[in-house]
Amino acid sequence: MIGTKLKLGLCIFLFPFLTLAQSQRGDLVRIMVSPTRGDMKYDVGEEISFDVAVYKYGQLLPGAEVSYSIGPEKLEPVEEGTITLDEGTISLKGAVLEQPGFVRCHVTYQEGGNTYHNSGTAAVDPENIQPTTTDPDDFDEFWQGQMDALREVDLDPVITLMPDKCTAETNAYHVSYRNLSGHIYGILTVPKKPGKYPAILQVPGAGVRPYHGSFYDQDVICLQVGIHGVPVNFYDSDLYDNLRNGPLDGYWKANLDNRDEYYYKRVYLGCTRAVDFIYGLPEFDGENLGVMGGSQGGALSIITAGMDDRIDYLVSYYPALCDLTGYLHDRAGGWPHLFRDEFTNTDAKVETSHYYDVVNFARRVNAEGFYSFGYNDNVCPPTSIYAAYNTIKAAKEISLFPDSAHWTYPEQREEGNDWILEKLGVH
């Protein structure tokens, strides 16, 4: 068990210019929370402080009474209370973390029947976070066996033009191909101009939804896939809501006690099967292939690159499914937080998780990668992300937007798109 000790004292300061982390745009009242240090990074054993300010109409709100809690991310707070901000600002001082990880300060304010909240998160020696999951001795044997079985299944691609989605420069298609069981569906975009092009596989975040295609009007092929074995072109249908709230509700837990039947097995295989599909396209240049996605898609990007060396480049935003066993070691585990609930903590489920944890695919990645996320993410905790990122031996770049949560700034998304297009030689 990893011990955690935090101490907290309070000290009130006036400071007209704060290093502020995150704003909730559109709220009448805005709470700003940020580690005092500009880079938001601390050493193990070093005192951490958080600057807090409450604004209304763009002005500090004197006398605001706020509630706060401070502790390791996603775990029970070790310090919490209520305090009045006489001048609208405060500094919460004295937090200390005794091992690499992240400390989060959450602040809440109530007015007029409305509740406003925000958080700031400090990194503590994150480059030294190590995974808690283990690497099964037969990991490679297991997945190679699944891949061999998949290759015995005919791809049988079906490609159907979608005239209403086409542009002057890009054709769009609804496509399907066979997976180990069932089919995978997606949207394919291909430049109309004759030639050979590099390709991007775009893998999805969690949920059930239709897709519209991506990277239109650029000299690149893009295959945007769904993972659930249903067509992704029913744009005016309640099909996806019915699936989301019915048979696919909580799909990430389905058959977790059996590595051969776990839901994500067909998902991971379906993503590698997409590589086969792309390699079969006559417009593909046969050499330059990238994969990208965010959250669940960030995980699937790393997983696909770890399973298939034909991937040359990967972009991963705030990947999910990283270091799932973190909660069993008194620290945050990755989405979908499988082992935060004692009901799921059976030996069989924990054992299955080792075969599906992003960390163990990250160990096997050879593709050059671009990774981007924020410290405030409360869906895919940065502790879990760093556990995976730190295991990657391939060439890698990290682009941190420390105040961001489970979303990306437009500039952040543009940066990742530009990175992969440049690597693929698209201008």
Please say whether the beta carbons of 360 and 415 come within 8 A: no
Which residue has 């086409």 as its token pair? 166
Q: In the annotation, is 406 catalytic?
A: yes
- SS3 readout for the chain: CCCCCCCCEEECCCCCCCCCCCCCCCCCEEEEEEECCCCCEECCCCCEEEEEEEEECCEECCCEEEEEEEEECCCCCCEEEEEEECCCEEEEEEECCCCCEEEEEEEEEEECCEEEEEEEEEEECHHHCCCCCCCCCCHHHHHHHHHHHHHCCCCCCEEEECHHHCCCCEEEEEEEEECCCCEEEEEEEEECCCCCEEEEEECCCCCCCCCCCCCCCCCCEEEEECCCCCCCCCCCCCHHHHHHHCCCCCHHHCCCCCCCCCCHHHHHHHHHHHHHHHHCCCCEEEEEEEEEEECHHHHHHHHHHHHCCCCCEEEEECCCCCCHHHHHHCCCCCCCCHHHCHHHCCHHHHHHHHCCCHHHHHCCCCCEEEEEECCCCCCCCHHHHHHHHCCCCCCEEEEECCCCCCCCCHHHHHHHHHHHHHHCCCC
Q: What is the CA 50 to chain-centroid distance, rounded?
A: 25
Using CA atoms, how far apart are residues 319 and 205, in angstroms rounded to an integer? 9
HSE-CB for 306 with a 13 A CA cutoff: 26
Using CA atoms, how far apart are residues 413 and 265, in angstroms rounded to an integer? 29
Using CA atoms, how far apart are residues 298 and 106, in angstroms rounded to an integer? 26
Using CA atoms, how far apart are residues 266 and 272, in angstroms rounded to an integer? 10
Given the residues 106, 174, 337, 406, the one annotated as active site: 406
Given the residues 119, 295, 301, 404, the one annotated as active site: 295
Q: In the annotation, is 377 catalytic?
A: yes
**To 5 degrees, how large is the angle CA 103–CA 131–CA 225?**
95
Sign, Cα dihedral of 357, 152, 224, 282:
positive
Given the residues 377, 384, 403, 404, the one annotated as active site: 377
The catalytic residue positions are 295, 377, 406
